[in-house]
Structure 1
Amino acid sequence: MSTAQEPLAALRTEPDVRTGLSAAQVAERVAAGETNDVPARAGRTVGQIVRANVFTRFNAIVGVLFAIILVIGPIQDGLFGFVIIINTGIGIVQELRAKRTLERLAIVGEARSRVRRDGAVAELSPSAVVLDDVIELGPGDKIVVDGVVLAADGLEVDESLLTGESDPVHKQIGDPVLSGSFVSAGTGAQQATKVGREAYAAKLAEEASRFTLVDSELRSGINKILKIITYLLVPAAALIIYSQFRTVGSDLDDALRGMVAALVPMVPEGLVLLTSIAFAVGVIRLGKRQCLVQELPAIEGLARVDTVCADKTGTLTENGMRLARVQPLGEHEEEGVRAVLGALGVADPRPNASLAAVSDGCPSPGWPLTGTAPFSSARKWGGASFDGHGHWVLGAPDVLADGTPEAAEAERIGAEGLRVLLLGRSDLAVDSPQAPGRVTPAALVVLEQKVRPEAAGTLRYFAEQDVEVKVISGDNAVSVGAVAASLDLPRARTPVDARELPADREALAGELEGATVFGRVTPAQKRDMVGALQSRGHTVAMTGDGVNDVLALKDADIGVAMGSGSPATRAVAQIVLLDNSFATLPHVVAEGRRVIGNIERVANLFLTKTVYSVLLAIAIGGIGVPFPFLPRHLTLIGSLTIGIPAFFLALAPNTERARSGFVRRVLRLAAPSGVVAGLGTIVTYLLVRGAASATPIQQSTAAVVTLYLIALWVLVVVARPFTWWKTVLVLASAASFAHALFSPIVFGRQFWELDPGHGPTMLIALIVALAGAALVELSAFVVDRRLAAGRS
């Protein structure tokens, strides 16, 4: 705190715990800079986006080459330089659009805090919290600032995201709480003692909501290729300069022009650009479906997902529930049972969905409380003790009364797809360390859950796409199996009780491979299940909405949270479904596959160009003949066979699941295709140089025709399977090249310095091109056979 602010802080008044800070006290702290000023999002600023797209290694390389052409001319040979402006502009615009989309959606899905101010409770964004604010805490709430507990009613805090310890910590008045943890059970209040960057885990929330363009196999593979190319540029440039001086004399301009023509196509800067555009467009498309992507690499992860672990409640079924009936047991009467349920309903100030449904159906008798035990997903029960009315618990029948006829009856009812809770009377106070003690069953409480109308179609989509769905729930296994079976999930009629699962990871993985529905799963088991599936090589997506899902969401390859879920789940998930619709998930997976599949497709084009460019530079330099192309020639070929087609192919539909080994797979086609294109061009050029009647321009034209036709056939191979728009794309490329080759009007052969008038050289060019196309086709056939064999 600055010196000027110290007198203000000394005069600061302390808050009233019951009413919270007043408006004047809030203003004091804001003026003193005591605000929670950690940025909610860690995305790049506009200035950083502009600098990152302008000052790149590739813009520097191509910019230097463009500057050389501006000096020596003619300007037609510098057309590649304008690609820098276009590419940079597109990159900036797309990333700014993605930034705006992410920020707008992040506000909707932001975890908000319930803060007491002026005697009222207001929901505020974390950045609006100030020092000494009194913040109310309830199940699922994310703790956004460090503080001390002011009130606690069965308050349990999960600090696993900070410490790695999965057991919740019981908190009492005066205990510290840390930002980055979350409330797993109970209610209470805290006073903010450290805010902003002084908080213990201030960076955790920032990291949880950061989107980035790094740390993905796709981008690391591309960067690896580009690094190798960068190292090749300097020796290739030296070789070309030496070769051109040796063949065209001491004309420095011609030598530099040949060097530029050889080096420009070696740099696949468009591949980096299209990767960024594809990611950004993916974010925007998903944003329109109310899907917040908190990390861009999550799109790539989704493309590789082969297993989806889904909770039943909130995913297959709606969050809300309705009290269907109360079934008294023994000597208990329904009227008395409903009174107990009504008392339990108001005992918890932040009830879960089940208790809220019970409370809606049973009025409170107004009994005085003597103790509470908030519901915990780990122990599967909650309860309250009442003065003069005993100790009552409500929870899972097979936990509170395992092995009894009442538990068997509950399982029978649960087999119909209903949720069943047991109300029982305990011989111990519910806040006793030995609770629940001996429980006497009093009633079965039957709740109805509505199956989401889109759930069946979503499960069918995953089955068609070879993605296995595992339903992992804390509810009774038979009940969960009944719901899943109604949606035609395979093997749902043989659900597994998670209490019978082995603890050993290898044995657990074997059980998971053989079943699809699991009930009575604890939060720790959900996490173990994700790890066991990953140990078998599966890429796992986990969906959830409750605090019991946080650990599994954090460990899954892709965590998907519902927008209405707890703030803790939204904080750790890479993807948030703001519309709470399970039906959005297929679109998310499809978008990931589209992005990654198309990037791999266009990478074949760019790397084919890189391979033939390197080969041409080395071969022409070694043979000692003039470089056959002007820079404008390679600009024409690259634009028509790679640049323009790649932009459309990168945004096309693609449903194939991505697999690891991106670099190896791309080079299988790009390397042989590039070698064929390079060798074919060299053979054509050497053959036509022997034709004394052909001018140097006609000789270059023959080389241009051969290289274009072979590169066009690579485009044909990559574009398969054909649709009408892909056919139009290839035909438009051929028509544009024909215009440049034959037409005398604007952007015709004079502009490109082409002359197809020498018949024998054109015939040689066509024959070599046909042979090259046949070899590319053969190479593609071999690659397809190998890939098919690898999938089988």
Structure 2
Amino acid sequence: MTAAQVAERVAAGQVNDVPVRSSRSIGEIIRGNLFTRINAIMGALFVIIMAVGPVQDALFGGVILANTLIGVIQEVRAKRTLDQLAIVGESRPMVRRDGVAASLTAEQIVLDDLIELGPGDKIAVDGVVAEAADLEVDESLLTGEADPVLKRPGDTVMSGSFVVAGAGAFSATRVGRDAYAARLAEEASKFTLISSELRGGINTILKFVTYAIIPAGIALIISQLTVGNDDDMAEAIRRMVAGLVPMVPEGLVLLTSVAFAVGVVRLGKKRCLVQELPAIEGLARVDVVCLDKTGTLTETAMDVSEVRLLAQDAPAEAVLGVLGTADDRPNASMQAIIDAYPAPEGWEVLDSSPFSSARRWSGAMLAEPGSAEPVPGQPGQGAGARTATWLLGAPDALLPPGHPVLTEVDEHGAAGLRVLLLVRTAATLRSVMEGLPDPAADAADALEPIALVVIEQRIRKEAPATLRYFAEQGVQAKIISGDNALSVGAVARGLGFPGAEHPVDARTLPEDPEELADIAERTSVFGRVGPQQKRALVQALQSRGHTVAMTGDGVNDVLALKDSDIGVAMGAGSPATRSVAQLVLLDNNFSVLPSVVAEGRRVIGNIERVANLFLTKTVYSVLLAIMVVIAQVPYPFLPRHLTLVGSLSIGIPAFFLALAPNAERARTGFVRRVLRFALPAGLLAAVATFAAYLYARHVYDGNLEAETSAATLTLFLVALWALAIIARPYTWWRIALVLTMGAAFAVVLVVPFAQEFFQLELVGVRAPWTSVAIAAGAGLLLEVTWAVLRRRTTKTDALIGA
């Protein structure tokens, strides 16, 4: 297409304007943080309080506004990080315009563009094939069809599929939201986000909280309007609102979003692109990680260490140089050969077939300068030329079992070396592609072993330390590679990998899912694993209850990455691999994975901590409302009191705790563990507070401000004790955090301005010290209850783990 034709289509809106998946727009972020159910409830209560005053009782509105601003700011920071990394990590199709192929973003493609294809390329839009050279496309992610489809000129290709072999070009016929994959995504029939136990647990908690708030809130409203008199209706309304506000865990959802957003920014600094936010949590829950050897444990770059001739006087090095020029998209092995052997002059490529992970070989039909007579009917031959078909690939794919050459191959493989076999045949390349010659076939068409190409792989420096980290954290590692099993086992032994002494050749694996699952459980190293077998191994491990992560960089990893719980792709991997993964390591740095695990654990562990605090507040608020209704007394607090208690014992500490380092192991049962603490803590806080309130009513006989002050003191001390339990294990800053919150409350009690602002004043000695004693008793009971519940839960978790 010409530049003028492109401009016409852009003006007509015929562009591939599918929005980037990496983040929400700023408008969506603001709406998502501002217009929430919780903000609607709190906003209505804020309007009521503003109508009756004073402004001190409307402080909770400022807290909600601050929370919303924090949420927006943190998510915008995360959005910018994601968008910047997405630009770096996105695939860039080669598009022919004005007769020149240029690398463009997917969003720059317009209708009728001619887009080039090669192995590993993701098809960004729908189209019709214009050129094809052994072009094979995998459409399994869209259609479920497992086998690659051979495409010829005139055939259609669909967005969301990817090239596994061959090369070609296609003309874009449907772009943007009209493309097949875009329509599937909108219908949510395929590309779904991974599940998040953390978010699911919080939604479950909020659902039960809603069920508890509605009846308790209605009863409290009726009660306060009944016990209040007509002369002091405003006071009754204020105390009614005070009872409703703390029932809502307003900061829980916010801090969860903030924790995820901060995690995205932190990982972004390590050049890790998080394509789905719950992936941070997901990797922390993984108990099996499947590693592709090449590009993950070893570097992508390789070196040819030796070419071992099997046939004397064969031009092996020259042929290797020519085969390199015949491959437009060389893989790592072929690139090592290209670097070692430049192409000689005088050779002609008559036909070629690029590497296919299904066949496990590439080949070309070459015209070789020589003294032999030309073969009649072969095109492109000059005088004195001779032709032959040369294949380069996995020795066990080109030779029958038991062939003597395979013994030498195994010896090299046992030393951790990759070995390719160069063979020659008089048969045409097309006939070979239809099926390798039978070993008993005519000698004229048989495959003649010419040379072994021994390639040395470079183990990543960070691989041993990363594998040790996973072992120490109780995460099983499995190496699943397409290489020779002995070679994979040797690399694994060099890394000190458990089970490396017994690698399994995947060609011997059973097809029965149960038998395969048994082998997958007890085996750590697999070689000669095909793309479908990688997927089957992942599914087998999942069938035994494992949460599985898969790392990879090649086209043969795509299916396994898509089916795994967490897919991790290397930035240098194929576009198809990066598009299906939840995490992309842009610098190909395998050692970043422990950081991702650490971020996930920080998010999970810290949100569980703060959820304990927020749910404790909800429990004691609901129970206090019920007690007030039953006793038919005024609610003991004004909104300002609970804003003060909530801010110092929950809101401010939770913000620090949610973003602190946390290396605790991720475990299932989030809701169960949170309720295990919140229910007894909330019950004890409510009972202690109400007891102190009733005692203060007896002592002060109608001095409502003094009664409220005594109850507030008890509630704060019990809440502070709960915070001290949740903050464990102690570090200097956690101890300082708890002490600072206690000191801040003490300042309010002794500074005259603060006393007047918050309407708090401790009168006399008897009631205040009784309130302290009641709080201490409740705190000690909470310690005992927590110790017993924790011991029982530890035993239960141990039994579940066993």
Q: TM-score normalised by the shorter chain: which range applies?
A: over 0.9
The whole-number CA distance in structure 2 between the counterparts of 1:158 and 1:102 is 29
Out of 262, 269, 287, the residue aligned to residue 243 of structure 2 is 262
Out of 271, 282, 296, the residue aligned to residue 301 of structure 1 is 282
1:449 and 2:448 equivalent? Answer: no
1:775 and 2:748 equivalent? Answer: no
CA contact (8 A) 1:214 1:220 kept: no
For residue 727 of structure 1, report the CA deviation from its aligned partner.
0.6
Q: Aligned ranges for residues 744-763 of structure 1 at < 5 Å?
A: 744=752, 746=753, 748-763=754-769
1:367 and 2:352 equivalent? Answer: no
CA contact (8 A) 2:22 2:82 kept: no
Partner of 1:689: 697
Q: 1:781 to 1:91 in 2, by over 3 A?
A: same
Q: Secondary structure at the residue paired with 1:772?
A: helix
Q: Aligned ranges for residues 102-251 of structure 1 at < 5 Å?
A: 102-203=82-183, 215-250=195-230, 251=232
Partner of 1:622: 630
Q: Aligned ranges for residues 337-348 of structure 1 at < 5 Å?
A: 337-348=316-327
Q: 1:511 to 1:427 in 2, by over 3 A?
A: farther
The whole-number CA distance in structure 1 between the counterparts of 2:747 and 2:790 is 34
Q: 1:727 to 1:42 in 2, by over 3 A?
A: closer
Q: 1:469 to 1:207 in 2, by over 3 A?
A: farther
Partner of 1:573: 581
1:391 and 2:381 equivalent? Answer: no
Q: Percent identity?
A: 61
1:253 and 2:225 equivalent? Answer: no
The whole-number CA distance in structure 1 between the counterparts of 2:271 and 2:500 is 30
Out of 467, 470, 473, the residue aligned to residue 465 of structure 1 is 473
Q: Secondary structure at the residue paired with 1:649?
A: helix
Partner of 2:797: 791
Q: Secondary structure at the residue paired with 1:597?
A: helix
Q: Secondary structure at the residue paired with 1:155?
A: strand
Pick which of 717-726 and 38-47 moved more: 38-47
Partner of 1:273: 254
The whole-number CA distance in structure 1 between the counterparts of 2:208 and 2:22 is 31
For residue 206 of structure 1, report the CA deviation from its aligned partner.
8.3
Q: Aligned-residue CA RMSD in angstroms? A: 1.9
For residue 52 of structure 1, report the CA deviation from its aligned partner.
1.6
The whole-number CA distance in structure 1 between the counterparts of 2:236 and 2:219 is 11
Out of 313, 319, 328, the residue aligned to residue 349 of structure 1 is 328
For residue 691 of structure 1, report the CA deviation from its aligned partner.
1.7
CA contact (8 A) 1:377 1:522 kept: yes
For residue 618 of structure 1, report the CA deviation from its aligned partner.
0.8
The whole-number CA distance in structure 2 between the counterparts of 1:713 and 1:249 is 37
The whole-number CA distance in structure 2 between the counterparts of 1:675 and 1:53 is 31
The whole-number CA distance in structure 2 between the counterparts of 1:564 and 1:413 is 28
Out of 308, 317, 322, the residue aligned to residue 298 of structure 2 is 317
Pick which of 243-252 and 335-344 moved more: 243-252
The whole-number CA distance in structure 2 between the counterparts of 1:57 and 1:282 is 25
Q: TM-score, normalised by structure 2?
A: 0.93
The whole-number CA distance in structure 2 between the counterparts of 1:689 and 1:589 is 53
For residue 54 of structure 1, report the CA deviation from its aligned partner.
1.3
The whole-number CA distance in structure 2 between the counterparts of 1:683 and 1:400 is 85
Q: Secondary structure at the residue paired with 1:173?
A: coil
Note the alpha carbon deviations across 1:328-377, whole angstroms, 9 max, x for none.
01x333x6111221221112211111112112222324432333232111
Amino acid at match of 1:620: V
The whole-number CA distance in structure 2 between the counterparts of 1:103 and 1:592 is 21
Partner of 2:416: 417
1:24 and 2:4 equivalent? Answer: yes
Note the alpha carbon deviations across 1:740-760, whole angstroms, 9 max, x for none.
12222x4x2222212223211
The whole-number CA distance in structure 2 between the counterparts of 1:114 and 1:504 is 42
Q: Secondary structure at the residue paired with 2:405?
A: helix
CA contact (8 A) 1:39 1:206 kept: no
Q: Secondary structure at the residue paired with 1:690?
A: helix
Partner of 1:638: 646
The whole-number CA distance in structure 2 between the counterparts of 1:214 and 1:764 is 52
1:34 and 2:14 equivalent? Answer: yes
The whole-number CA distance in structure 2 between the counterparts of 1:606 and 1:641 is 10
Out of 311, 315, 335, the residue aligned to residue 336 of structure 1 is 315
1:531 and 2:539 equivalent? Answer: yes
For residue 40 of structure 1, report the CA deviation from its aligned partner.
2.8
Amino acid at match of 1:272: V
1:560 and 2:551 equivalent? Answer: no
The whole-number CA distance in structure 1 between the counterparts of 2:453 and 2:644 is 74
Structure 2, unmatched stretches of 5+, are 368-385, 438-445
The whole-number CA distance in structure 2 between the counterparts of 1:207 and 1:544 is 28
The whole-number CA distance in structure 2 between the counterparts of 1:191 and 1:301 is 39
Pick which of 446-455 and 35-44 moved more: 35-44
Partner of 2:501: 493
Partner of 1:711: 719
Out of 484, 488, 492, the residue aligned to residue 480 of structure 1 is 488
Q: 1:392 to 1:214 in 2, by over 3 A?
A: closer
The whole-number CA distance in structure 2 between the counterparts of 1:57 and 1:198 is 34
For residue 134 of structure 1, report the CA deviation from its aligned partner.
1.4
CA contact (8 A) 2:700 2:706 kept: no
The whole-number CA distance in structure 1 between the counterparts of 2:205 and 2:782 is 22
The whole-number CA distance in structure 2 between the counterparts of 1:405 and 1:351 is 29
The whole-number CA distance in structure 2 between the counterparts of 1:133 and 1:93 is 40
Pick which of 377-386 and 103-112 moved more: 377-386
Q: 1:275 to 1:717 in 2, by over 3 A?
A: same
For residue 474 of structure 1, report the CA deviation from its aligned partner.
0.2
Q: 1:634 to 1:363 in 2, by over 3 A?
A: same
Q: Secondary structure at the residue paired with 1:691?
A: helix
CA contact (8 A) 2:22 2:83 kept: no
Partner of 1:11: none
1:510 and 2:523 equivalent? Answer: no
The whole-number CA distance in structure 1 between the counterparts of 2:224 and 2:558 is 64
For residue 776 of structure 1, report the CA deviation from its aligned partner.
1.2
Out of 516, 524, 530, the residue aligned to residue 522 of structure 1 is 530
The whole-number CA distance in structure 2 between the counterparts of 1:190 and 1:479 is 39
Amino acid at match of 1:93: I
Partner of 1:408: 407
For residue 42 of structure 1, report the CA deviation from its aligned partner.
6.4
Note the alpha carbon deviations across 1:695-751, whole angstroms, 9 max, x for none.
33222222111111111111111111000110110000110011112222x4x2222
Q: 1:361 to 1:675 in 2, by over 3 A?
A: same
CA contact (8 A) 2:138 2:149 kept: yes
For residue 771 of structure 1, report the CA deviation from its aligned partner.
1.2
CA contact (8 A) 2:194 2:565 kept: no
The whole-number CA distance in structure 1 between the counterparts of 2:597 and 2:470 is 9
For residue 99 of structure 1, report the CA deviation from its aligned partner.
1.2
The whole-number CA distance in structure 2 between the counterparts of 1:430 and 1:212 is 42
The whole-number CA distance in structure 1 between the counterparts of 2:11 and 2:702 is 82
The whole-number CA distance in structure 2 between the counterparts of 1:715 and 1:534 is 38
CA contact (8 A) 1:180 1:205 kept: no
Amino acid at match of 2:411: R
For residue 287 of structure 1, report the CA deviation from its aligned partner.
0.8
CA contact (8 A) 1:560 1:574 kept: yes
The whole-number CA distance in structure 2 between the counterparts of 1:686 and 1:615 is 15
Partner of 1:14: none
Partner of 1:766: 772
For residue 693 of structure 1, report the CA deviation from its aligned partner.
6.8
CA contact (8 A) 2:123 2:161 kept: yes
